[in-house]
Amino acid sequence: MTAVSPSSTMLRVLGRRLRVASWNEPRGARPLLIFNGIGMNAELLDPLAARLDRRVIAFDMPGVGGSPDPLLPYNAATMAATASVLLDRLGIERVDVLGISWGGGIAQQFAFQHRARIGRLALAATSAGVAMVPGSPALLARLLDPAEYGSGRAFQRSLAVLYNGGGAAAPVSFNAATPPSALGWLCQLGALATWTSLGLLPWLEVPTLVLAGDEDHVVPPLNARLLHALIPDSRLELVAGGGHLFVLSHVERVAAALNRFLAVESA
């Protein structure tokens, strides 16, 4: 299936100008709101969005993709509130939510903070925040190194390294990746620097799908097992051969799992 490019618009939400991307026409099902990984612009979601059977919405974080640099730092709570106001601006009452890697923290915070607005939650390649089982020190150091985000070529090279695992999968193109600004990258990093969901997960009353790559060396799959153990109404699915970016490298498998999970209506 050919990837589709999103339609996009700029919206001012709680004092921030955000580039909002949308794929697929409304199809009766709840839209899916995606919180993307650190530094990752919306276009990287094109192959996944093309395979989902509902409207998909995402926005570039401040200083990422088409969104201007933030004027002030933010944290998980303020970004969850921003997403809620954004939905108001779009005239959407309830959504399902997918959080990928860094975006999984924001997705969890959104579920805690705006329970009435969320139907189902999917968490991919993510953890409970700072209370996580750490991954490879070398890969984490690369992820935290601002030099890896300094140019388009460096950023694409860094993403290719994070694509570790999944050697049998189809090659992933990172041509759509654009590097975040230094300020945007630092604000994303700071937003979850002290955040953890560990103490709240047993009270997360949202049907949840936890997805993990069994070869993820950045966020080891033990983190997914922990999320699954602590979230009462959750299911766990491991993607064989999947590295940290299995959402991109194993897109058919991930899309099928999401379509199955999101097709079940929740109260």
- pLDDT single digits (tens) 167-210: 555 678 888 999 999 999 999 999 999 999 999 999 999 999 99
Distance CA 149, CA 256 (A): 31
- pLDDT single digits (tens) 8-26: 999 999 999 999 999 998 7
Question: pLDDT at position 3, please?
Answer: 63
Residue 2: left if φ>0, alpha if ψ -120 to 50, beta else—which one? beta
3-state secondary structure of 81: helix
Q: Which domains does the chain have, with CATH numbers?
A: 7-262 (3.40.50.1820)
The catalytically annotated residue of 22, 67, 101, 127 is 101
| Residue 136 designated active-site | no
Tell me which residues of the chain have a pLDDT lower than 50: 266-267
Residues 6+ away with beta carbon under 8 Å from 220: 133, 134, 135
